[in-house]
Amino acid sequence: MQEILEKVKNGTMSVEEAEKFLRREPFEEMGYAKLDMHRKVRSGFAEVIYCAGKADEHLLHIFEHLYKADGQVFGTRATQHQYEILREKYPQVEYDSISHIIKIEKKDKEHIGNIAVCTAGTADIAVAEEAAQTAEYFGTKVTRVYDVGVSGIHRLLGNLEAIQSANCVVAVAGMEGALASVLGGLVDKPVIAVPTSVGYGANFGGLSALLTMINSCANGIAVVNIDNGYGAGYMATQINRLGVKANG
Protein backbone atom coordinates (compact mmCIF):
# COMPACT_ATOMS: atom_id res chain seq x y z
CA MET A 1 0.00 0.00 0.00
CA GLN A 2 2.79 2.44 0.92
CA GLU A 3 4.47 1.84 -2.45
CA ILE A 4 1.23 2.68 -4.28
CA LEU A 5 0.81 5.89 -2.30
CA GLU A 6 4.39 6.91 -3.08
CA LYS A 7 3.84 6.32 -6.80
CA VAL A 8 0.72 8.49 -6.76
CA LYS A 9 2.55 11.15 -4.80
CA ASN A 10 5.54 11.32 -7.16
CA GLY A 11 3.36 11.17 -10.27
CA THR A 12 4.48 7.79 -11.63
CA MET A 13 0.96 6.38 -11.11
CA SER A 14 -2.34 8.17 -11.57
CA VAL A 15 -5.15 8.04 -9.01
CA GLU A 16 -7.23 6.08 -11.53
CA GLU A 17 -4.43 3.52 -12.00
CA ALA A 18 -4.07 3.18 -8.23
CA GLU A 19 -7.82 2.58 -7.82
CA LYS A 20 -7.76 -0.03 -10.58
CA PHE A 21 -4.84 -1.82 -8.89
CA LEU A 22 -6.43 -1.81 -5.45
CA ARG A 23 -9.77 -3.05 -6.75
CA ARG A 24 -8.11 -6.01 -8.39
CA GLU A 25 -8.45 -9.39 -6.70
CA PRO A 26 -5.60 -10.08 -4.24
CA PHE A 27 -4.85 -13.17 -6.29
CA GLU A 28 -5.31 -14.04 -9.95
CA GLU A 29 -7.14 -17.28 -10.60
CA MET A 30 -5.63 -19.33 -13.42
CA GLY A 31 -7.26 -22.68 -12.68
CA TYR A 32 -3.98 -24.50 -12.09
CA ALA A 33 -2.44 -21.59 -10.12
CA LYS A 34 -3.52 -18.68 -7.96
CA LEU A 35 -0.99 -15.90 -8.46
CA ASP A 36 -0.47 -13.69 -5.40
CA MET A 37 -0.63 -10.30 -7.10
CA HIS A 38 -0.61 -8.32 -3.82
CA ARG A 39 2.40 -10.02 -2.27
CA LYS A 40 4.70 -7.09 -3.03
CA VAL A 41 2.22 -4.70 -1.45
CA ARG A 42 2.09 -6.79 1.74
CA SER A 43 5.69 -7.95 2.09
CA GLY A 44 7.82 -5.81 -0.22
CA PHE A 45 8.69 -8.81 -2.41
CA ALA A 46 6.85 -9.83 -5.57
CA GLU A 47 6.00 -13.50 -6.07
CA VAL A 48 8.83 -15.66 -7.43
CA ILE A 49 8.44 -18.74 -9.62
CA TYR A 50 9.78 -22.11 -8.49
CA CYS A 51 10.28 -23.56 -11.96
CA ALA A 52 11.18 -27.17 -11.18
CA GLY A 53 8.45 -29.61 -12.11
CA LYS A 54 6.15 -27.08 -13.78
CA ALA A 55 4.53 -27.94 -17.08
CA ASP A 56 5.82 -25.85 -19.98
CA GLU A 57 2.44 -24.25 -20.65
CA HIS A 58 1.88 -23.44 -16.99
CA LEU A 59 5.33 -21.90 -16.60
CA LEU A 60 4.91 -19.79 -19.72
CA HIS A 61 1.56 -18.35 -18.60
CA ILE A 62 2.68 -17.74 -15.01
CA PHE A 63 5.85 -16.03 -16.26
CA GLU A 64 3.78 -13.86 -18.60
CA HIS A 65 1.29 -12.74 -15.93
CA LEU A 66 3.95 -11.87 -13.34
CA TYR A 67 6.04 -10.02 -15.92
CA LYS A 68 3.07 -7.93 -17.04
CA ALA A 69 2.19 -7.10 -13.44
CA ASP A 70 5.62 -5.93 -12.28
CA GLY A 71 7.72 -5.27 -15.37
CA GLN A 72 10.17 -7.94 -14.24
CA VAL A 73 10.03 -11.58 -13.13
CA PHE A 74 12.30 -14.02 -11.31
CA GLY A 75 12.38 -17.81 -11.30
CA THR A 76 14.50 -20.38 -9.48
CA ARG A 77 15.53 -23.98 -10.29
CA ALA A 78 14.93 -23.53 -14.03
CA THR A 79 16.24 -25.92 -16.68
CA GLN A 80 17.85 -25.22 -20.03
CA HIS A 81 14.68 -26.53 -21.69
CA GLN A 82 12.51 -24.07 -19.75
CA TYR A 83 14.85 -21.23 -20.71
CA GLU A 84 14.53 -22.13 -24.40
CA ILE A 85 10.73 -22.23 -24.13
CA LEU A 86 10.60 -18.80 -22.48
CA ARG A 87 13.20 -17.28 -24.81
CA GLU A 88 10.95 -17.95 -27.81
CA LYS A 89 8.47 -15.40 -26.46
CA TYR A 90 10.84 -13.24 -24.41
CA PRO A 91 14.20 -12.86 -26.19
CA GLN A 92 15.44 -10.62 -23.36
CA VAL A 93 15.11 -13.35 -20.74
CA GLU A 94 18.35 -14.18 -18.89
CA TYR A 95 19.38 -17.64 -17.68
CA ASP A 96 22.28 -18.59 -15.44
CA SER A 97 23.23 -22.24 -15.86
CA ILE A 98 25.15 -22.26 -12.55
CA SER A 99 22.41 -21.06 -10.21
CA HIS A 100 19.55 -22.13 -12.54
CA ILE A 101 17.96 -18.71 -12.13
CA ILE A 102 15.88 -17.30 -14.96
CA LYS A 103 14.73 -13.70 -15.02
CA ILE A 104 13.79 -10.51 -16.77
CA GLU A 105 15.10 -7.68 -14.63
CA LYS A 106 14.82 -3.91 -14.68
CA LYS A 107 18.24 -2.52 -15.58
CA ASP A 108 17.97 0.79 -13.71
CA LYS A 109 17.53 -0.88 -10.33
CA GLU A 110 19.24 0.64 -7.29
CA HIS A 111 21.20 -1.73 -5.05
CA ILE A 112 21.41 -0.65 -1.43
CA GLY A 113 23.36 -1.64 1.67
CA ASN A 114 25.62 -4.68 1.46
CA ILE A 115 25.57 -8.38 2.28
CA ALA A 116 28.44 -10.83 2.02
CA VAL A 117 27.86 -14.24 0.46
CA CYS A 118 30.64 -16.68 1.39
CA THR A 119 31.27 -20.26 0.35
CA ALA A 120 33.45 -22.95 1.85
CA GLY A 121 34.39 -24.32 -1.59
CA THR A 122 33.80 -23.78 -5.28
CA ALA A 123 31.36 -26.72 -5.35
CA ASP A 124 29.04 -24.60 -3.16
CA ILE A 125 28.90 -21.73 -5.66
CA ALA A 126 25.68 -22.90 -7.37
CA VAL A 127 23.74 -22.49 -4.12
CA ALA A 128 25.63 -19.31 -3.24
CA GLU A 129 24.76 -17.75 -6.59
CA GLU A 130 21.10 -18.54 -6.03
CA ALA A 131 21.37 -16.58 -2.78
CA ALA A 132 23.42 -13.73 -4.25
CA GLN A 133 21.30 -13.26 -7.36
CA THR A 134 18.09 -13.43 -5.34
CA ALA A 135 19.36 -10.63 -3.10
CA GLU A 136 20.50 -8.58 -6.09
CA TYR A 137 17.14 -8.98 -7.81
CA PHE A 138 15.45 -7.60 -4.70
CA GLY A 139 17.76 -4.57 -4.66
CA THR A 140 20.62 -5.59 -2.38
CA LYS A 141 24.30 -4.94 -3.04
CA VAL A 142 26.23 -8.21 -2.75
CA THR A 143 29.89 -8.91 -2.02
CA ARG A 144 30.94 -12.41 -3.06
CA VAL A 145 33.70 -14.16 -1.07
CA TYR A 146 34.10 -17.67 -2.44
CA ASP A 147 36.31 -20.64 -1.55
CA VAL A 148 37.23 -19.59 2.00
CA GLY A 149 36.53 -22.84 3.86
CA VAL A 150 38.12 -23.95 7.10
CA SER A 151 40.69 -26.24 5.47
CA GLY A 152 42.55 -23.04 4.57
CA ILE A 153 41.24 -20.53 7.07
CA HIS A 154 43.88 -17.94 6.14
CA ARG A 155 41.82 -17.36 2.97
CA LEU A 156 38.86 -16.32 5.12
CA LEU A 157 40.95 -14.10 7.39
CA GLY A 158 42.41 -12.38 4.33
CA ASN A 159 38.89 -11.26 3.36
CA LEU A 160 37.59 -10.49 6.83
CA GLU A 161 37.33 -6.71 6.46
CA ALA A 162 34.92 -6.99 3.52
CA ILE A 163 32.85 -9.60 5.37
CA GLN A 164 32.68 -7.65 8.65
CA SER A 165 31.47 -4.49 6.88
CA ALA A 166 28.34 -6.21 5.52
CA ASN A 167 24.90 -5.87 7.10
CA CYS A 168 24.43 -9.63 6.95
CA VAL A 169 26.56 -12.66 6.07
CA VAL A 170 25.41 -15.74 4.16
CA ALA A 171 27.61 -18.79 4.83
CA VAL A 172 27.22 -21.56 2.27
CA ALA A 173 28.96 -24.86 3.03
CA GLY A 174 28.71 -28.58 2.50
CA MET A 175 30.89 -31.34 3.98
CA GLU A 176 30.83 -30.75 7.77
CA GLY A 177 29.48 -27.18 7.41
CA ALA A 178 31.91 -25.52 9.84
CA LEU A 179 32.17 -22.22 7.96
CA ALA A 180 29.03 -20.77 9.54
CA SER A 181 30.34 -21.30 13.09
CA VAL A 182 33.66 -19.68 12.25
CA LEU A 183 31.96 -16.65 10.71
CA GLY A 184 29.54 -16.43 13.62
CA GLY A 185 32.49 -15.89 15.93
CA LEU A 186 34.06 -13.20 13.76
CA VAL A 187 31.24 -10.80 12.87
CA ASP A 188 28.75 -8.66 14.79
CA LYS A 189 25.98 -9.10 12.20
CA PRO A 190 23.51 -11.94 11.62
CA VAL A 191 24.84 -15.02 9.82
CA ILE A 192 22.50 -17.04 7.63
CA ALA A 193 23.85 -20.56 7.28
CA VAL A 194 23.07 -22.57 4.16
CA PRO A 195 23.98 -26.27 4.28
CA THR A 196 24.63 -27.79 0.87
CA SER A 197 24.44 -31.35 -0.37
CA VAL A 198 28.13 -31.22 -1.38
CA GLY A 199 30.15 -34.01 0.21
CA TYR A 200 30.90 -37.70 0.38
CA GLY A 201 28.71 -40.53 1.69
CA ALA A 202 28.40 -39.60 5.35
CA ASN A 203 27.40 -36.08 4.33
CA PHE A 204 23.97 -37.69 3.82
CA GLY A 205 22.94 -35.21 1.13
CA GLY A 206 23.67 -32.18 3.31
CA LEU A 207 22.35 -33.51 6.60
CA SER A 208 25.79 -33.45 8.25
CA ALA A 209 26.24 -29.77 7.39
CA LEU A 210 22.70 -28.98 8.52
CA LEU A 211 23.22 -30.64 11.92
CA THR A 212 26.54 -28.85 12.41
CA MET A 213 24.97 -25.49 11.65
CA ILE A 214 21.90 -25.84 13.86
CA ASN A 215 24.11 -27.11 16.72
CA SER A 216 26.64 -24.30 16.42
CA CYS A 217 27.98 -22.85 19.66
CA ALA A 218 28.43 -19.48 17.91
CA ASN A 219 25.61 -16.99 18.45
CA GLY A 220 23.66 -15.07 15.82
CA ILE A 221 23.32 -17.91 13.32
CA ALA A 222 20.05 -18.75 11.55
CA VAL A 223 19.86 -21.84 9.35
CA VAL A 224 17.81 -22.41 6.20
CA ASN A 225 17.07 -25.70 4.49
CA ILE A 226 19.64 -27.74 2.56
CA ASP A 227 20.59 -26.04 -0.74
CA ASN A 228 18.07 -23.25 -0.11
CA GLY A 229 20.02 -20.35 -1.54
CA TYR A 230 16.82 -18.52 -2.44
CA GLY A 231 15.59 -18.53 1.16
CA ALA A 232 18.94 -17.22 2.38
CA GLY A 233 19.02 -14.42 -0.21
CA TYR A 234 15.47 -13.39 0.68
CA MET A 235 16.14 -13.31 4.41
CA ALA A 236 19.45 -11.51 3.92
CA THR A 237 17.63 -8.83 1.93
CA GLN A 238 15.13 -8.32 4.75
CA ILE A 239 17.99 -7.90 7.24
CA ASN A 240 19.87 -5.61 4.86
CA ARG A 241 16.83 -3.36 4.44
CA LEU A 242 16.56 -3.04 8.21
CA GLY A 243 20.26 -2.16 8.38
CA VAL A 244 19.92 0.50 5.72
CA LYS A 245 16.86 1.96 7.45
CA ALA A 246 18.65 2.03 10.83
CA ASN A 247 21.71 3.74 9.34
CA GLY A 248 19.68 6.18 7.27
Position 70 scores a pLDDT of 83
Bigger pLDDT: 47 or 112?
112
The angle, 0 to 180 degrees and rounded to 10, between the axes of the packed helices 56-70 and 80-89 is: 50
Of 2-11, 27-36, 72-81, 116-125, the poorest mean pLDDT is in 27-36
pLDDT digits (tens, 9 = 90+) for 205-227: 999 999 999 999 999 999 999 99
pLDDT tens digit sequence for 56-71: 999 999 999 899 888 8
The 10s digit of each residue's pLDDT in 142-158 is: 999 999 999 899 999 99
